[in-house]
Amino acid sequence: MDWGKVRFFLGEVLRNFTRNASMQATAIGTVAITIVLLGLFLFVRAALAGMGAHLLDQIEISAYLANDATAAQVTSIRHLLAADPRVASADFVSKKQGLTELRDRTKGVIDTALLTENPLPDKFRIKVRVPEEVPAVAASVRRLRGVQNVVYGQTIVQRLLQLGVVLRRVGIGVIIVFLAVAGIIISNTIRLTVFARRREIAIMQLVGATNLYIRIPFICEGLLDGLAGSLLAVAILAIARATLWPKLLEALPWIQLNVTALNPGVLVAELVLVGGAVGVVASWISVGRHLRT
């Protein structure tokens, strides 16, 4: 190992990096902002996916029974549901049980003590294995004798999921635009340092340095920009996670935020990798452009 060579090389990279400090700061800042947005986007996407899965999981059909339904009808419905392969579970919820659940759910919001009688009918709570089959199951249940009404929240769930898809697409578009912007700014930064060092590059070419040798310090510079920016972004995200996240949970208790699927280690690795890659690609392109002319 030729340590003198290594020292020379690192010295050159460091000299470059510190020479144009304000430009480097701009590049690093842009990368940081982009990566923060990317991180937020990945986070929101995970949250939406979690929310969607949670909602899908919660889809259930309520088959309300007629008040005059006979015990035989109830038993027959129970058997039919148990025999249906599409049905995951079917629980009988009596009027009384229904009211208790309602009381629990609306505690502090609606005073159910005001109710003089129980307005709820008996019902079956049906869970379907595949969400897409909910409408078909609901339709067949509605035809059963003793069933008065069938309710399920399919429409709203569908809309939520569609919203998720739309958000995801828009998010990807936004991220692509921001990565492109970060790439352009890094490549401009590198172009400025290339310009500042054009004499040096000319001399390198004159004495017979290969293009790779000329390129490497600039690539390292781009890599440093990208890595510094993404590490800064990760720090910002970590701080936000620690300070804003609990407040968000507190402020929006009704949102089922489930981001346990998001592995923080993997996320950090992804973000840093993206940052570094943007830096390398951008600097490779801008030095290449200079070397070709």
Residue numbers at the binding site for another protein (CB under 8 A): 2-5, 8, 15, 199-200, 202-211, 213-214
Nearer to another protein, 10 or 136 (CB): 10
For the chain, the straight-line distance linking the first and the last C-alpha, in angstroms and rounded, comes to 35
Nearer to another protein, 143 or 199 (CB): 199
Nearer to another protein, 114 or 206 (CB): 206
Residue 160 neighbours by CB distance under 10 Å: 15
Question: For residue 270, how far is the Cα from the chain centroid?
Answer: 13
Nearer to another protein, 196 or 252 (CB): 196
Nearer to another protein, 129 or 290 (CB): 290
Nearest distance from C-beta of residue 220 to another protein, angstroms = 15
Nearest distance from C-beta of residue 9 to another protein, angstroms = 8
Structure tokens at 12: 């050159």
Structure tokens at 233: 């972004």
Widest pairwise Cα distance in the chain: 100
The identity of residue 32, as a single letter, is A
Nearer to another protein, 4 or 85 (CB): 4
Burial class from Cβ neighbours inside 10 Å (0-12, 13-18, 19+) for residue 212 reads exposed
Nearest distance from C-beta of residue 291 to another protein, angstroms = 9
128: helix, coil or strand?
strand
Nearest distance from C-beta of residue 210 to another protein, angstroms = 5
DSSP string, 63-100: EEEPTT--HHHHHHHHHHHHH-TTEEEEEEE-HHHHHH
Nearer to another protein, 11 or 264 (CB): 11
Nearest distance from C-beta of residue 285 to another protein, angstroms = 18
Nearest distance from C-beta of residue 199 to another protein, angstroms = 7
Contacts with 34 (C-beta within 8 Å, 6 or more apart), sequence order: 175, 178, 179, 181, 182, 229, 233, 278
Nearest distance from C-beta of residue 283 to another protein, angstroms = 18
Structure tokens at 159: 């809309």
Angle between helices 154-196 and 134-142 (to 10 degrees): 170
Residue with tokens 């509605």, as numbered in its chain? 142
Please calculate the CA angle 116-122-127 and round it to the nearest 5 degrees. 135
